[in-house]
Structure 1
Amino acid sequence: MLEAAVKCLVAYLVGGVMGGSVLRRMLGGRDLRSAGSGNLGATNALRTRGTGFALGVLAIDVGKGVFAALVVPHLPWPAGWALGSASLAPTSLAYACGVAVALGHCFPLFQHFRGGKGVATLAGVFASLLPAAFPWMLGIFLLVVLASGYVSLASLCGAAAAVVATAFAPGLATGAGAFALAMAALVGVRHTANIRRLATGTEPRFERLRVLGRWLSKRIETWRAR
């Protein structure tokens, strides 16, 4: 059990490496915590620092999800430690590390527990551990964000789609459904304020994404009409 606890702690600390903070230290400029929503995630980065900065944040946040899911569970462990054997099966340990990295991103220790919404990091985890569900998560996210311009709504719908896809995907390990449901619940909790704004019609939207969505729709209609 000690091995599992230590590796989950490592995953949590990896989750606390915030892409927005890292890039700001490297490139300078405005701190995301004092701009826009004050969130360190890619959405606020896009809104306040531009596309290039946001893509960098996205890459770091997705990458740490992949690292925590695929690398951290397999880190070497000293042989012969009396408390060293993990009581979790390898797949369960990977799920636990996935939960830990998401919590680290949402509530980072060294950022006074003010982190992101967890969506990008969870995308990396899902792509690594539940590849059958990830295309549905990504596809629904893109469909909703291009149709509505609401990143928050797209994130919620993508998380829900991942749960449904996991429930119907064959051959998944025990605990996959519970893991997907727990992660979707975390996304929902982190978007509570966004849900209230969506309900009152005050949630900001990215009009450029809606324009892109309409353009793509017209291109597809033109292609199908040929």
Structure 2
Amino acid sequence: MPFSTPDLIAAGLAYLLGSLSFAVIVSKALALPDPKSYGSGNPGATNVLRSGSKKAAILTLLGDTLKGVVAVLLAKHFAAQFGITEAGVALVAVAVFLGHLFPIFFGFKGGKGVATAAGVLFALDWRIGLALLAIWALVFAVTRVSSMAAIIGSALAPVFAFYFYGAKPIFWAALVMTVLLIYRHKANIERMISGHEDSFKKKPAG
């Protein structure tokens, strides 16, 4: 899977875009605490919601999702003009995701990548994105555990990518993101096994 010079340049720019941590940016803009200082310590929309600001959580979710969408769509749009290959578009997808996980602007301490991965997958192929969103929603509706829904959904990403594309670059991009996303959820997995993972179940009144 050789990469051209335009591929590498596009991937570098995508990484920088991914490094914009909207959890931190939005929290600072709204005079909220740094999301790394409370809750799970994860700079993502779910943890920002723990600040009590739904507005901040929604803006974080939108920002983290859209940077994945924008990076991939720009790479696809300018592929022919600048010589970005199919493998290069897949590399851009992984690069913007890596930027979110390890942001150069925030000491390489980023989020878990769920929203950005979703944006990337929707931009790569809306069918994959829509299928995974439906799976996430179903699992969350049953379990009320956001991390479990994210892990199960992401685990199926390479399956759908292989179904539609075979062993093409998009499959390998989905596989890499899945492995990294599940790894970033290792603490959540440990808590799920021990029965101590946070959920959004309503507490009984009284």
TM-score normalized with structure 1 length: 0.81
Post-superposition CA distance 1:133-164 (Å, at most 9, x none): 11111011011112111111000111122222
Of residues 41-50 and 105-114 in structure 1, the stretch that sits farther from structure 2 once superposed is: 41-50
* Offset at residue 123 of structure 1 (A): 0.5
Q: Say if 1:13 and 1:202 are closer, same or farther in 2 by CA, change over 3 A.
A: same
- Cα pair 1:73 1:94 within 8 Å, conserved: yes
Aligned pairs for 1:23-172 within 5 A: 23-72=26-75, 74=77, 89=85, 91-169=86-164
Q: 1:197 and 1:24 mapped to 2: Cα distance?
A: 27
* Offset at residue 176 of structure 1 (A): 2.2
Q: Secondary structure at the match of 2:174?
A: helix
- Cα pair 1:10 1:72 within 8 Å, conserved: no
Question: Which of 179, 196, 199 lines up with 2:193 in the alignment?
Answer: 199
- Could you say which structure has the larger radius of gyration? 1
Q: Secondary structure at the match of 2:50?
A: helix
Question: Which of 179, 182, 193 lines up with 1:188 in the alignment?
Answer: 182
- Cα pair 1:105 1:118 within 8 Å, conserved: yes
* Offset at residue 167 of structure 1 (A): 2.3
Q: Secondary structure at the match of 1:207?
A: coil
5+ long unaligned stretches in structure 2: none
Q: Secondary structure at the match of 2:41?
A: coil
Q: Secondary structure at the match of 1:204?
A: coil
Q: 1:166 and 1:201 mapped to 2: Cα distance?
A: 32
- Cα pair 1:14 1:64 within 8 Å, conserved: yes
Q: 2:78 and 2:70 mapped to 1: Cα distance?
A: 11
* Offset at residue 74 of structure 1 (A): 4.8
Q: 1:49 and 1:8 mapped to 2: Cα distance?
A: 35
* Offset at residue 103 of structure 1 (A): 0.4
Runs of 4+ in 1 over 4 A off after TM superposition: 72-76
Post-superposition CA distance 1:154-195 (Å, at most 9, x none): 0011112222222222x5782222221111111111101111
* Offset at residue 73 of structure 1 (A): 5.6
Aligned pairs for 1:4-15 within 5 A: 4-15=7-18
Of residues 95-104 and 132-141 in structure 1, the stretch that sits farther from structure 2 once superposed is: 132-141
TM-score normalized with structure 2 length: 0.89
- Cα pair 1:7 1:73 within 8 Å, conserved: no
- Cα pair 2:8 2:88 within 8 Å, conserved: no
Identity over aligned pairs, percent:
35
Q: Secondary structure at the match of 1:38?
A: coil
